[in-house]
């Protein structure tokens, strides 16, 4: 992750000197900032009319790992009562903004810390269904702690979100019951948690997946192994990150197409932009199910 710009640091420090709430968010209710829009979608659904959620990383065509914060982000962080960051090195720019503008009235939720994860661990927590539930519970608890007068409302929103997750959870269970043990490949670590949750056998070399996710060159031996897996049709489906591409992953995708191995694209942020977390995930899972069914 790149360092935040000097301008953002300067503005953040200036806001700190001027006092809290210099640049308020629109509307009434709790001001919440989410580092990424998938967490922002969940925070919005859990907070309903009692929160104003500003999601920072949203661009569906960009690689979130390369995000550079700006002065608008600094203003949003300064006015927030709750900041939700993914952590584990995924959004270090957000932690820098928090550190540059300390505020005793602001709560910071680091999801990696909540889950007992650390920098260097796979940061794609939103692809692990159990983690999503844990995060939803924690966000609700934070809302209730900040706004105790609206506890019944937040409990109601949490129950509604649980209902909204049911089609997504049903699809997870359906794929697992039908395709558990089926070998698949993934060009990077974004799909590791989901593959495990679905009971799929992810055979791609971890060294390859981790290197691509971190923006570095994978070891030659891992590239050769992955190439051989695709060439021999050892996998039934190849999953790829449609927001991050290199010449190596492009070559593997082309080889997979030549070998009639179905491709399934997944993303790091909501696609389409207006989708809810659960609808986004359900669409991707449906595409995966179709690909697995076509190559049984």
The model's confidence at residue 83, banded by pLDDT at 50, 70 and 90, is very high
- Domain 6-164 CATH class label: alpha beta
H helices within the chain, ranges in order? 6-18, 37-47, 71-79, 92-100, 111-114, 129-146, 151-164, 166-179, 192-198, 206-214, 220-231, 247-258, 277-294
Give pLDDT tens digits for 258-291: 999 999 999 999 999 999 999 999 999 999 999 9
Q: Is this model's pTM higher than 0.85 or not? A: yes
Same fold, 6-164 and 167-294: yes
Domain 167-294 = CATH 3.40.50.1980: yes
- Delimit the domains of the chain by residue range: 6-164, 167-294
Average pLDDT taken over every residue of the chain: 91
- How far is residue 245's CA from residue 106's CA, in Å, rounded to a whole number? 37
Q: Tokens in use for 275? A: 């989708």
From the list 120, 96, 111, 75, the residue with the least C-alpha distance to 3 is 96
Residue 13 has pLDDT above 50, yes or no: no
């Amino acid at each position: 992750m790149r360092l935040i710009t000097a301008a953002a640091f300067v503005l953040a420090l200036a806001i700190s000197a001027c006092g809290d709430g210099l640049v308020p968010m629109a509307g009434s209710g709790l001001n919440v900032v989410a580092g990424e829009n998938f967490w922002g979608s969940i925070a919005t659904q859990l907070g309903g009319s009692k929160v104003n959620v500003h999601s920072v990383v949203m661009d569906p065509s960009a690689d979130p790992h390369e995000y550079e914060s700006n002065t608008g982000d600094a203003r949003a962080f300064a006015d927030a009562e709750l900041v939700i960051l993914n952590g584990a090195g995924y959004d270090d720019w957000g932690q820098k903004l928090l550190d540059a503008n300390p505020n005793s009235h602001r709560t910071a939720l680091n999801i990696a810390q909540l889950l007992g994860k650390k920098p260097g661990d796979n940061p794609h927590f939103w692809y692990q269904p159990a983690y999503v539930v844990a995060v939803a519970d924690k966000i609700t608890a934070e809302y209730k702690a900040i706004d105790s007068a609206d506890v019944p409302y937040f409990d109601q929103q949490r129950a509604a979100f649980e209902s909204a997750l049911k089609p997504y959870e049903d699809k997870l269970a359906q794929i697992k019951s039908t395709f558990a043990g089926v070998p698949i490949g993934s060009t990077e670590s974004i799909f590791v948690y989901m593959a495990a949750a679905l009971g799929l056998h992810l055979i791609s070399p971890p060294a390859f997946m981790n290197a691509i996710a971190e923006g570095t060159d994978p070891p030659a031996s891992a590239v050769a192994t992955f190439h051989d897996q695709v060439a021999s049709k050892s996998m039934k489906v190849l999953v790829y990150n449609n927001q991050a591409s290199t010449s190596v992953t492009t070559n593997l995708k082309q080889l997979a197409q030549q070998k009639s191995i179905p491709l399934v694209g997944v993303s790091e942020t909501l696609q389409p932009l207006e989708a809810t977390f659960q609808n986004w995930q359900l669409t991707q899972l449906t595409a995966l199910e179709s690909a697995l069914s076509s190559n049984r």
